[in-house]
Structure 1
Amino acid sequence: MKKKEANFQLVKMIAMLMIVSHHIVSKNAFNIDTEIVGITVNKIALQVMGNNAFIGNNLFFLVSAWFLSSKREETVNTQYSIRSCFRIERTVLFYSYAMCVIMLIFRGGVSKSILLQSVFPVTTGMWWYPTTYMIFLMIWPFYHQALLRFSDEDLKKYVLIAFFIWSISTLIPFANAGSSALIAFLMLYAIVMLIKRLTISFQNHKKLYCSFIVIPYMLAVLSIIALDLLGARIAAAEQYSCYFMRGNYRPVSMMVSIGLFMWGTTWKVKANKMIDWLADATFGIYLFHMYPPVMKILFERIFLIQDVIDKPYAVLWLVVITMVIFLLGVLIDTLRKALFDVCNLLLSRIHVRNSQGI
């Protein structure tokens, strides 16, 4: 079994914590953007902490992109893509079927549309990330080979043009030239290829990467404060107060995630089983807490922001609930892996017996 690099495992964990905290805020029955007019300390804190998921999504993808871009040319093929998609599909189907059955038994609000999505989760896009990532994987061998054929200058131009069309342009409110999560993945992959080709390491370009992290993020925070203040007079302003932080393809998400990821490549962390256990469960955490009926239970019935928004411990509450959901997801995915191990063991024994003619 290939040894995993602990720094990238930590990046995945941080990314998933960002994603969970976002869903606690954005999927909550209490809409913090519109139900508090004007500005309060708790509102700003939860808006900022609850809108890092798009950075987290990109971080999660960048870990995969980093290793995919490093593969030997002979291993970059559709066979690898298909095997990877099969592994993802197997996990997705387990969560989809298991959670659908559990919700049906306990009457957890499984509608006909949710039932259909649960039967065909990838095709229907029940969870956007695995669907988008599997599409990327099928395109990846051809995209990778095409990028390799670009000269350094052409690759720079391609990255700049793509970033301007699909990222920078979205700074104009409601402008969208076809930007999407898949487009963000394609841009990030090309950026990773450019970084590796030009050997733009964090150590050699520390100021550049730090500016990628700090400047866009601070501007986004300032935009939230400004729009919240304006929202006291114009309702639409507070409705879109977090506009510049939302979207994998937006400049804030793209630039901050690249800066954080490249910083992560320098972390000196010793590999250990605890980190691997937590990091390997991150995909399962995502699937568990983003199953639509589970989201309704968690964020519309149990963990309600309205109960704490006026309390001095609101920020601590968000941190604690994020950790609770994260750890619950780890336990569920541990059970899933144990079940898979048992099934694999039984199948291998059956195969041995059949091969021996027993």
Structure 2
Amino acid sequence: MVRLIAMVMIVLNHSPWSAFSYVDASAGYTQRLGMTLIISFLSNWGGVGDCLFFIISAWFLCDEEQSYERNISRCWHLEKQLWFWSLSLFIGCLIVWHMRGEMPEMKTLASLGLKTMFPFAANLWWYPTSYMLFLMACPLLTHGLRLLTRERHAALCVGLLLIFGWTPASVFPLDMSYSIVLFFYLYVLVCFVKWHMPFLYKSRSLAYALLAFGLTVGLGSQLIIECVLPNRIVWTMWMNSPRCLSTICIALAIVVMATTAKPRYSRVINYVAASTLAVYLVCTHMFANLILRPMVSPLHPDIASVGKIVAMAAIIYIVSLIIDILRHWIFSWTVDCNINQQNDWIIDSLRRLYDRGVRVVGKFMNTPSGCNPGK
């Protein structure tokens, strides 16, 4: 359920709010402020959604016995999903361009085609690429954090928060951006909470306090800024920066409240939640802009237009989930029918490649200086 909530935040953040004139410059201050506040409060949850989506995974990863084999299997499962959506959305782009009688420049088309064939390596979507890289480093990172004492781990968390946690991205970018570095940063914090602060992740009252703090700082600062700048939306303050403390507090509070609630198991919700990444893949792809921006640009700055954009976001959300659920069902009896054999072959191939690399490096290290290793 938490994944579904996180993806609602992300899809609202990536809706084409900037594609239409959301403020009437001739309107009064109150009317202009009202529109920017509504859109700001709807669209600036992307950082919380990103943070929440990762913390859900990190919350359980940090307590399981880390295994490269298990993480490689996760990466392969994710890569197949990326291939399906990258090819489907690329074909969708070609159809839209053909129907409109326009084609992009060859450079743009070639770049999108290359990213379509290699979605992970070409970083077509930052989140799955960074997450797969993180999974490969996670066993080593977890082992290193386990070696730290509670005091050293706490000092590391305090240092990271002092550097990255209180400065919004629009003021101090600090070059963390959206990458594997962000996941390392969040994972260090989550591990400390899970390993050394049981009083926090077992207490709903503390979770409510974290939520109140995060919302007060995030929404309060947004309100102040919009009152000063009623004609424009500020997108990258605390609420839309996944590394900021207020965002982390909100995401962490939601996870704690979910994990401390009365256990309720639903196969339907779990099955649907497994496809939530598809919503992100669709709403952040060029295809979504090609479809939505021409529909949004003629809208007038009023509440009805805001409702239409929210309805578009809901349609994308529901349709993406339905298609990915169908993909998952089809893959279960086609592509994934021999999933164990696929995983074993990939792991064995990587192990042989690793052993060969170690032998080559060892051979060069044992070569006397001044000698030609090729002779």
**TM category, shorter:** 0.7 to 0.9
Cα RMSD over matched residues? 2.9
Aligned equivalent of 2:173: 176
Q: Normalising by structure 1, what TM-score?
A: 0.81
What aligned pairs does 1:214-225 form with structure 2 within 5 A after superposition?
214-225=212-223
Aligned equivalent of 2:302: 310
Determine the C-alpha separation between the residues in 1 that align with 2:60 and 2:321.
24
Cα-to-partner distance string for 1:256-300 (whole Å, 9 max, x where unaligned): 1112211121222521232123211101222122221223312x0
Aligned equivalent of 1:252: 246
Q: Tell me if the contact between 2:87 and 2:117 (Cα under 8 Å) persists in the aligned partners.
A: yes
Cα-to-partner distance string for 1:333-357 (whole Å, 9 max, x where unaligned): 0221132123147769xx9xxxxxx
- Unpaired runs of at least 5, structure 1: 1-9, 352-358
Matched, 1:113 2:103: no
**AA aligned opposite 1:67:** F
Aligned equivalent of 2:368: none
Report the 3-state secondary structure (helix = DSSP H, G, I; strand = E; otherwise coil) of the residue aligned with 1:70: coil
Specify whether residues 32 and 151 from structure 1 end up closer, same or farther in structure 2 by C-alpha distance, changes over 3 A only.
Answer: farther
Q: Which stretch of structure 1 is more off in the superposition, 154-163 or 191-200?
A: 191-200
Match of 1:330 among 321, 324, 330: 321
- Unpaired runs of at least 5, structure 2: 343-375
Q: Which stretch of structure 1 is more off in the superposition, 34-43 or 190-199?
A: 34-43
Specify whether residues 177 and 242 from structure 1 end up closer, same or farther in structure 2 by C-alpha distance, changes over 3 A only.
Answer: closer
Aligned equivalent of 2:366: none
Aligned equivalent of 2:155: 157
Specify whether residues 107 and 317 from structure 1 end up closer, same or farther in structure 2 by C-alpha distance, changes over 3 A only.
Answer: closer
Specify whether residues 346 and 258 from structure 1 end up closer, same or farther in structure 2 by C-alpha distance, changes over 3 A only.
Answer: closer
Aligned equivalent of 1:356: none
Q: Which stretch of structure 1 is more off in the superposition, 253-262 or 179-188?
A: 179-188
**AA aligned opposite 1:188:** L
What aligned pairs does 1:260-271 form with structure 2 within 5 A after superposition?
260-271=254-265
Report the 3-state secondary structure (helix = DSSP H, G, I; strand = E; otherwise coil) of the residue aligned with 2:152: helix
Q: Tell me if the contact between 2:68 and 2:139 (Cα under 8 Å) persists in the aligned partners.
A: yes
Cα deviation for residue 194 of structure 1 reads 1.4
Cα deviation for residue 142 of structure 1 reads 0.7
Q: Tell me if the contact between 1:202 and 1:266 (Cα under 8 Å) persists in the aligned partners.
A: no
Specify whether residues 149 and 58 from structure 1 end up closer, same or farther in structure 2 by C-alpha distance, changes over 3 A only.
Answer: same
Determine the C-alpha separation between the residues in 2 that align with 1:204 and 1:342.
40
Determine the C-alpha separation between the residues in 1 that align with 2:225 and 2:14.
21
Aligned equivalent of 2:122: 124
Report the 3-state secondary structure (helix = DSSP H, G, I; strand = E; otherwise coil) of the residue aligned with 2:124: coil
Aligned equivalent of 1:5: none
Matched residue pairs, number?
328
**AA aligned opposite 2:302:** D
Determine the C-alpha separation between the residues in 2 that align with 1:314 and 1:87.
39
Determine the C-alpha separation between the residues in 2 that align with 1:135 and 1:172.
23
Cα-to-partner distance string for 1:92-127 (whole Å, 9 max, x where unaligned): 011111221233244376633222221221122211
Match of 1:272 among 263, 266, 271: 266
Larger Rg: 2
Determine the C-alpha separation between the residues in 1 that align with 2:211 and 2:23.
24
Aligned equivalent of 1:49: 42
Cα-to-partner distance string for 1:278-330 (whole Å, 9 max, x where unaligned): 211101222122221223312x023x27626413x556545433332211011
Report the 3-state secondary structure (helix = DSSP H, G, I; strand = E; otherwise coil) of the residue aligned with 2:191: helix
Report the 3-state secondary structure (helix = DSSP H, G, I; strand = E; otherwise coil) of the residue aligned with 1:125: coil
Cα deviation for residue 214 of structure 1 reads 1.7
Identity %: 23
Aligned equivalent of 1:6: none
